[in-house]
């Protein structure tokens, strides 16, 4: 069975995934049979290096699965730590995207700490040990004690906090998430004290991409800033009766023109367009189609702050609409993406606010 995985880059970089699944394989008579997933992931082509494959083996287990990643013989020293880092990150990206999907969690129950035991295999044990130490310093791996020694673990909650450009090769053009700026306070409206905010992403340049896979969706989602060229699109969406009922921004195009100008001039928010690119039967991207509008804001300067307690300096919120009827029913996928972006954009963000109406069906 063949799959295609799209990495979070601009443009999305495709890697092929070949799978072999063995059910109930008993590798040791003293333990319970386990399911084994063998995956060969093609590495993105770098003009300066030969193309190779990433071979991984996932062994289902309790309390953690084991993810065995085979480092190629070309990775043979500390100078190749960036190569090992990319191989492991891509393998984990595939693992958490495809084989570790969360089941529905009952209300009131804590989110389980889904994790995997990472095993690196190479021709030299010292290379594997050095790679694990490097990944621990990057914050991707946790070294946990166990009987007779230690074991490296990677948790999905930690992995999704990593930024792609820290691990992927420069030629892939991974989306950049800049370091947090030094803290400096300012005042808005002469009364609201808050940190000086960074500028929004560059106009027209996509700033977030993610391959979304679920029972209904096999598509790449992308976010880009709104600009004045989106006026016709915003005019169309705001005059959709379903959208107008909740946003109240319907009317002639001059009304949406002023709405867009206000969005672009805002000092505490910026607007973005969410687009989908569905995969065909062969795993190829088809075409980008704009579908959603997002207004991403800092809560402390927003009117919402008056109605909630203990708003932190870096808390963010989002107003949103799904403009295209064909894109409805994908709310979990794009909600995961927009929340993921807001947490990646500034590591000091602790909470995300949404204000949905109870009768709004996305």
Exactly one of 20, 350, 355, 361 is catalytic; which is it? Answer: 355
Does the annotation count 245 as an active-site position? no
Phi, psi at 230, each rounded to 5°: -90, 10
To 10 degrees, the CA torsion angle through 270, 272, 199, 173? 170
User: Which residues are part of the catalytic machinery?
Assistant: 355
């Amino acid at each position: 069975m063949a799959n295609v995985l799209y990495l979070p880059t601009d443009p999305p970089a495709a890697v092929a995934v070949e799978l072999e699944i063995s059910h109930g394989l008993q590798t040791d008579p003293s333990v319970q049979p386990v399911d084994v997933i063998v995956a060969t992931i093609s590495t993105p082509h770098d003009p300066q290096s030969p193309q190779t494959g990433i071979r991984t083996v996932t062994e289902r287990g309790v309390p953690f699965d084991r993810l065995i990643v085979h480092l190629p013989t070309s990775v043979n020293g500390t100078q190749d730590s960036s190569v090992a880092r990319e191989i492991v990150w891509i393998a984990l990206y595939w693992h958490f995207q495809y084989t570790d999907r969360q089941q529905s969690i009952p209300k009131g129950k804590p989110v389980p700490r889904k994790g995997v035991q990472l095993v690196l295999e190479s021709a030299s044990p010292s290379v594997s040990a050095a790679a694990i130490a490097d990944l621990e310093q990057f914050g991707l791996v946790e070294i946990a004690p166990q009987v007779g020694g230690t074991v490296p673990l990677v948790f999905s909650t930690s992995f999704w906090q990593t930024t792609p450009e820290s691990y992927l090769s420069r030629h892939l053009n991974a989306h950049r998430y800049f370091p947090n700026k030094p803290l400096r306070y300012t005042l808005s409206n002469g009364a609201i004290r808050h940190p000086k905010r960074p500028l929004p992403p560059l106009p027209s340049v996509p700033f977030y991409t993610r391959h979304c896979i679920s029972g209904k969706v096999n598509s790449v989602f992308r976010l880009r800033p709104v600009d004045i060229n989106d006026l016709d699109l915003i005019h169309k969406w705001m005059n959709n009766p379903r959208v107008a009922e909740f946003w109240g921004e319907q009317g002639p195009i001059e009304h949406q023109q002023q709405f867009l100008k206000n969005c672009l001039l805002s000092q505490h928010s910026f607007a973005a367009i969410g687009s989908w690119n569905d995969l065909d039967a062969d795993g190829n991207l088809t075409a980008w189609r704009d579908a959603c509008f997002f207004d991403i804001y800092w809560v402390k300067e927003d009117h919402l702050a008056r109605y909630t307690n203990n708003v932190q300096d870096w808390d963010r919120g989002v107003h949103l609409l799904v403009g295209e009827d064909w894109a409805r029913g994908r709310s979990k996928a794009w909600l995961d993406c927009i929340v993921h972006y807001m947490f990646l954009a500034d590591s000091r963000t602790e909470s995300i606010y949404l204000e949905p109406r109870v009768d709004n069906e996305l």
